[in-house]
Each structure stands twice: as structure tokens, then as C-alpha cells.
Structure 1
Amino acid sequence: MKQVRPKKNLGQHFLTDLGIAKRIADTVDACPDLPVLEVGPGMGVMTQYLVEKPRPLKVVEIDRESVAYLNEHFPKLRENILGEDFLRMDLTKVFDGKQFVLTGNYPYDISSQIFFKMLDNRNLIPCCTGMIQREVALRMASEPGNKAYGILSVLTQAWYDVDYLFTVDETVFNPPPKVKSAVIRMTRNSVEHLGCDEQLFKRVVKTVFNQRRKMLRVSLRQLLPNLSTIDSPLTQHEMMTKRPEQLTIPQFVELTNLVEKELCVRTQ
């Protein structure tokens, strides 16, 4: 069977450097003994190294041409090649409710959506590794006070320890992307509960970062109209003069609790 043609509408950039492919595949060894789910295997450049590991492996691929290629070249994996859309999958059914490692050379245009799905299934995924756009990797690993620190940084680091492993040059892909890539590893931390309403936490984080150049006393008006006209523990808090990139995750938790109290007062 001829090689698969990269499809622009699927954001496909096939890795051609076998050394890098093996390095990425080996990142799953940080969580030994767990089964592995690879997203977007394409022609199996990483799969060929993952399948050698002594653990269950499944791959999910939305591209029918790639699925046919994988079925032909990886006959032992045939029953574990899932021709589905990862974003629509019920991850509890992949390994019968068991935990697994998520990995892949993730399509740039949906990488953030993939990680948000990971966060929604964090109890199933204690470890996630793979390659993404370098800019996104820097955001995910960024600390407070940096320009890259944002929504993805806070929501990911609330539940995972993020390690930026190495940068990958654009010349090792077909076709070459216009940006550099990076390999990251996310390992589930010990946090079981944030100590606040988790849905409101996400709303607060997204709201203030959508106006990241403004102080919180301004950006929070999206959630709390007329905020500047009231006197409350929230409006008097020192955080109100800060911008969102200056807040740590514990401070976002504290802010969420203050916002929740203010919302409760307004509904009474």
C-alpha cells in the first residue's frame, strides 16, 4: 500500500525522523505498567516503538486512509486500531474503565481540545505525553508572571505537573509546519479537590484571561456587573489590583470562593 497523503483539513504533519519518534514513544515509560492510547498515529511512526513495549496499546485515528495503512502494516494491532474521533469518544470504554497513558503527535488545531478532554477525564489519565505546537507547550508549562501564562496553564497545572521535555524542529515533518514543535509530559498531581466550585473556577479563569491586560476589578465585571459600586470582601481584596497572569493557582481558588460568596449575596 502506498504511503498516506497528509491532509491539510486534518492538520496532518507526519513525523519523518525515527530517532525523535522513538524519543516521544519512550516518554510513556514515565508511567509504567499502564496501557497506552495513541492519538493520531498516521502511518505509525511512533506506533512501531509503542507496540514493542510490554503493555496493552490502542490507537485512535479519524483518517480512513491512515486506518487502512495501519491495518496493513500492523496486523497484530488490528483489533486495537480505532477508526474514531478522539474528541467524541467515551474514554471510560477504551480500556474497560481502567487508567491509561495518553500520547500522540497531536494535530495542532485541536491540541487544546484534546487536553481539555484529558482534564475532564483526569481520573482515567494519570499521565499524558506527546508532541504539540511549541507555543502551546510553553503556555502549558508557564509559571505566573510570564506572558505565556494563561487559561491552559492554570487549568492544566491545577491537576497536573507539566514538564517541557524538548523542542522539535519543523524540518523533520512532511509537510513541514510553519512553527516549531515541542514534546511535553503531564503527570497527575496529588490534588483531589481544588477547594472551590470547579465549574466556577473555570469560568473565573476564562473570564479574567479574556481581558488579561486589565486588572481583576475590571475583568470580573463580566461575572459581577456593578462590581465597582459595592463594598465587599471581594472588592477590598488586594488581588483586585492584579492582572490574571500574576495569580497563582491557590490565589485563583481563593478568588473563585470570593466570587461565589458575592454571587450568593446577589441572589438572596
Structure 2
Amino acid sequence: MYTLKKSLGQHFLKDEKICQDIVAAMPVHDNMQLLEVGPGGGAITKYLLQIPGITFKAVELDTEKVEYLQKTYPAIQGKIINEDFLTAKVPYEGEFSVIGNFPYNISTQIMFRILEWKEQVPVVVGMFQKEVAQRIASGHGNKDYGILSVLFQAYYDVEYLFDVEENAFNPPPKVKSGVIRCKKLKVPYDIANEKKLFTLVKAAFNQRRKQLRNPLKGYFDKEMLQDEIFTKRAEQLSVADFVALSHKML
């Protein structure tokens, strides 16, 4: 078989119904390109390999798991990229969707990496530690709402689909999990300067308990800082508010 590596945040799904539900959450169409991140022991990979009419690849850092997958699922030959997803090159030309039971210790970094590829990625279906899934899906005015919520929702419509209990895994993690689906916005926000938006959101949430006037004073002129919006805290602003503010930055 294979060994579990805690250093890679490995918890493998054993609940077949959950595996099937995750795969079913991905909209499929002919000739689509699909990338699985962190296939591990192949819990959802075996179902993904059965989808007709698509091109499939998987990225897996752990060489032992790559060898196991190649022995267990011959159909995966030539479809595994044995690299770190966080440093791997874009795996396809053109659009591709992303799916995975994402390693919990790097799941936030995975989402920021996907944001770098957002022009090519129309759909993401992923399982995360529940609090991370809630954070990505959270709306403004909620304590879970933060940097990742705003930056991902600036480009994607995020749905929280379902919870996954600890006993669905081997070994059981100490936390519950959650599955989300992110679809590219049909009507995108008017983001004039992406770098400014990212800078604004990160600065605002780095001092999330303070009125925005404090963390953002270096990014707007004094007159602008008198606007009522700067008396609010970061979590009170919608994605649209942040986008609009980014247009007025120095």
C-alpha cells in the first residue's frame, strides 16, 4: 500500500459516497480539461478517470503515491505530474477546471495559486478544513469573512456545498471538512488595477478590528479619508465596496 505523511497534511478519504458527491459537483462537458490537485491514494481519482470525453491530469508531490497510483490505476499512466502544485507550471493551454481534496496545510496557498491562473480556470471544486471552506464562501459582515473571501469572490461565485465528518477519512483529522464550488463570475467586477485591489484588501484585514481610516491612511489622500466608509471595519465592506475603493487609491 502506502504510508501516510503528516508532513504533507495527508488524510485520505475512505467514504465512497463523499468521493462520488465531490466528483458530481464538478460540471462536466465534452473536451474539457481537468486537473486534480493532490490525488493521494486515488479516492476521487478513480472516479475522475472514468469520466468520458475529457482530458485529465493530476499533480502529486509524493513520489510514493505516484508509484501507487500508477500500479493501482493503469489508466493514469502519463497523466501524473510529480511536482509541487505551488511551484508547478500551468498544466494546460486554454481553460481547465480544478478539483481536489486539498492538503489542509497548504490549502490557502493552493487557492492563491489558482487565483494566479484565474484567466484559465472557470471552475474549482475543493474540499478543505471546514473553517477554511467557510472563510472562502463567507459574505461580508461575518467573522469568517477575510482576505481570501474578498479576493476569491472578486472573480468567482462561491457555493458552500456540504460538510464532511471526520470519520470519512483515514486517519480521521481533528477537524471537520467542507466542500465548496467556485464558478467564474458571469458578470465580472470592474477591477481597474488588480495589484491595488490585493494591496487594499490585505492592508484592511491586517488590522481588521480597527476602523479602515487607520490601516488605509497611506493609500488615500486626507480628504478621501473623511468619507464615512473609512469609519467601518474591513469585514463590513462588500467585495463591490473594496473594488470601488481600489479605484480611488493613490
TM tier relative to shorter chain: over 0.9
Paired residue for 1:106? Answer: 102
Distance 1:191 1:88, change over 3 A: farther
Q: Is the 8 A contact 2:189 2:240 kept in 1?
A: no
Paired residue for 2:38? Answer: 40
Does the alignment pair 1:166 with 2:156?
Answer: no
Task: Please give the alpha-carbon distance, in whole angstroms, between the structure 2 residues aligned to 1:137 and 1:199.
Answer: 24
Q: Is the 8 A contact 1:10 1:107 kept in 2?
A: yes
Counterpart amino acid of residue 226 in structure 2: Q
Does the alignment pair 1:254 with 2:249?
Answer: no
Residue 41 of structure 1: SS of its match in structure 2?
Answer: coil
Does the alignment pair 1:148 with 2:138?
Answer: no
Task: Please give the alpha-carbon distance, in whole angstroms, between the structure 1 residues aligned to 2:37 and 2:159.
Answer: 20
Q: Is the 8 A contact 1:22 1:49 kept in 2?
A: yes
Paired residue for 1:85? Answer: 84
Where does 1:214-253 land on structure 2 (aligned, <5 Å)?
214-221=210-217, 223-224=218-219, 231-232=222-223, 234-253=224-243
Q: Is the 8 A contact 2:155 2:189 kept in 1?
A: no
Q: CA deviation at 1:231?
A: 3.8
Identity %: 46
Q: Is the 8 A contact 2:189 2:243 kept in 1?
A: no
Q: Is the 8 A contact 1:160 1:187 kept in 2?
A: yes
Q: Is the 8 A contact 1:6 1:174 kept in 2?
A: no
Residue 204 of structure 1: SS of its match in structure 2?
Answer: helix
Runs (5+) with no aligned partner, structure 2: none
Q: CA deviation at 1:57?
A: 1.1
Q: CA deviation at 1:172?
A: 1.3
Where does 1:30-69 land on structure 2 (aligned, <5 Å)?
30-33=27-30, 34-54=32-52, 55-69=54-68
Aligned length: 248
Q: Is the 8 A contact 1:31 1:101 kept in 2?
A: no
Distance 1:199 1:259, change over 3 A: same
> TM-score, normalized by length of structure 1?
0.89
1:213 aligned residue (185, 209, 212): 209
Task: Please give the alpha-carbon distance, in whole angstroms, between the structure 1 residues aligned to 2:80 and 2:222.
Answer: 59
Task: Please give the alpha-carbon distance, in whole angstroms, between the structure 2 residues aligned to 1:31 and 1:83.
Answer: 25
188-197 or 127-136, which moves further after superposition? 188-197
Task: Please give the alpha-carbon distance, in whole angstroms, between the structure 2 residues aligned to 1:106 and 1:184.
Answer: 11
Does the alignment pair 1:133 with 2:133?
Answer: no
Q: CA offsets per residue over residues 11-47 of structure 1, 9 Å max, x none?
A: 000111111111111222x242312110111111101
Runs (5+) with no aligned partner, structure 1: 261-268
Q: Is the 8 A contact 1:159 1:191 kept in 2?
A: no
1:177 aligned residue (173, 176, 179): 173
Q: CA deviation at 1:194?
A: 3.0
Between Structure 1 and Structure 2, which shows a larger proportion of helix residues? 1
Residue 52 of structure 1: SS of its match in structure 2?
Answer: coil
Does the alignment pair 1:73 with 2:72?
Answer: yes
Q: Is the 8 A contact 1:31 1:127 kept in 2?
A: no
Q: CA deviation at 1:192?
A: 5.0
> TM-score, normalized by length of structure 2?
0.95
Counterpart amino acid of residue 250 in structure 1: A
Paired residue for 2:22? Answer: 24
